[in-house]
Amino acid sequence: MSQKQRAIQQKKRAFAKARKQKKNPRELKRLRQQYAKAVKGVQNHVKSFADTTSNPIMAAFTANMLNADQHFDFMSQIAEDLKEEMPNSPYTKQFASKVEKKEALTKGKKAPDIQMTNPRGNKMALSDLRGKVVLVDFWASWCKPCRIENPNVVKTYKKYKDEGFTIFSVSLDKNKNKWKQAIQKDNLMWDYHVSDLKGWSNRAAQKYQVNSIPATFLVDREGKIIAKDLRGDKLAEKLAEVLNEKDKKSS
């Protein structure tokens, strides 16, 4: 791990610890800004190297360090360069496939349907919620950041549930009892909770290319992805914007 990567991990842990200890908002903001600044610095360094190296394979290998959601256009260009310079390389096909799969999950694309069973064994589908604004929330009972975020999710649900908003929770648990206990303990009161109890091999998680949790996708009434990984106030702000747009159209 490089010195810059270690610095990022240290700042990330400091922020997570402060959040868990419920430190004052000013201190949390300061730590969040430090973490974001460190991440941005590394991202800029990675992009600069990938953009200037004469080796297309090395450019793609380096670009893989970036968050594909945040830097999709850049990674897409790297994939096009690879196709042009090394069209028959297995690595070209692998990298291009990764970019193409990620493109299917970009803003404006239709959210892939999810059909899975709830704790009672009844099948539930994301498509059943068409007409509502839906937060697809990937989480697990064993995920500490998820459990820390859950009170914010509950608060947002209570505030907007009567305005056409709901949540479709997908658990990456393997233990059914722990999953059910976490739902009850965290007061996750919405109806749509599903899991195939396969952990990281969860079919929906693979379909949505989830490799860390919590991970969220905000889906509009037409079933299209409009935002990703919104938490806390950011989620509430986006919902206020989206739901307000509907009010304006109907008035």
Indicate if 119 and 154 belong to the same structural domain: yes
Least confident of 80-89, 108-117, 146-155: 80-89
Q: Answer yes or no: is 108 within a domain.
A: no
Q: Which amino acid is at 130?
A: R
Is the omega angle on the peptide bond into residue 56 within 30 degrees of 0, that is, cis?
Answer: no
Query: Is 60 exceeded by the pLDDT of residue 121?
Result: yes
Show which of 103, 133, 155 is a domain's final residue.
103
More confident residue, 164 or 62: 164
Tokens linked to 35: 């973490």
Indicate if 87 and 182 belong to the same structural domain: no
pTM of the model: 0.71
Indicate if 124 and 245 belong to the same structural domain: yes
Indicate if 48 and 150 belong to the same structural domain: no
Pairwise CA distance, residues 38 & 46, whole Å: 13
Query: Is 80 exceeded by the pLDDT of residue 201?
Result: yes
Show which of 73, 103, 133 is a domain's final residue.
103
The predicted structure's pLDDT at residue 91 = 75
Indicate if 167 and 122 belong to the same structural domain: yes
Pairwise CA distance, residues 78 & 105, whole Å: 18
The predicted structure's pLDDT at residue 45 = 65
Indicate if 145 and 222 belong to the same structural domain: yes
Query: Is 50 exceeded by the pLDDT of residue 81?
Result: yes
Task: Count CB neighbours of 97 within 10 A.
Answer: 11
The predicted structure's pLDDT at residue 42 = 61
Question: For residues 35 and 11, is the Cβ–Cβ distance under 8 A?
Answer: yes
Question: For residues 153 and 167, is the Cβ–Cβ distance under 8 A?
Answer: yes
Task: Map residue 104 onto helix, strand or coil.
Answer: coil
Pairwise CA distance, residues 187 & 167, whole Å: 13
Rg (C-alpha) for the chain, rounded Å, is 20
Q: What would the DSSP string read from start to end of 189-208?
A: -SSEEE--S-GGG-HHHHHT
Query: Is 60 exceeded by the pLDDT of residue 4?
Result: no
Query: Is 90 exceeded by the pLDDT of residue 113?
Result: yes
Is the omega angle on the peptide bond into residue 214 within 30 degrees of 0, that is, cis?
Answer: yes
Residue with tokens 């459990």: 147
Tokens linked to 194: 């599903």
Q: What are phi and psi of 128, to 5 degrees?
A: -65, -20
More confident residue, 146 or 98: 146
Q: What is the pLDDT of residues 141-183, one digit of tens each?
A: 999 999 999 999 999 999 999 999 999 999 999 999 999 999 9
Q: What are phi and psi of 227, to 5 degrees?
A: -165, 160
What average pLDDT is seen over the chain?
83
Indicate if 181 and 246 belong to the same structural domain: yes
The predicted structure's pLDDT at residue 189 = 97
Domain that holds residue 210: 115-250
* Cβ neighbours of residue 82 closer than 8 Å, sequence gap 6 or more: 56, 57, 59, 60, 89, 91, 92, 95, 96
Pairwise CA distance, residues 174 & 194, whole Å: 12
Q: Answer yes or no: is 210 within a domain.
A: yes
Residue 157: which H helix or E strand, with range? helix 144-160
Show which of 103, 135, 160 is a domain's final residue.
103
184 pLDDT band, cuts 50/70/90, is very high
Indicate if 162 and 237 belong to the same structural domain: yes
Pairwise CA distance, residues 120 & 248, whole Å: 39
1 pLDDT band, cuts 50/70/90, is very low
The predicted structure's pLDDT at residue 176 = 97
The predicted structure's pLDDT at residue 251 = 45
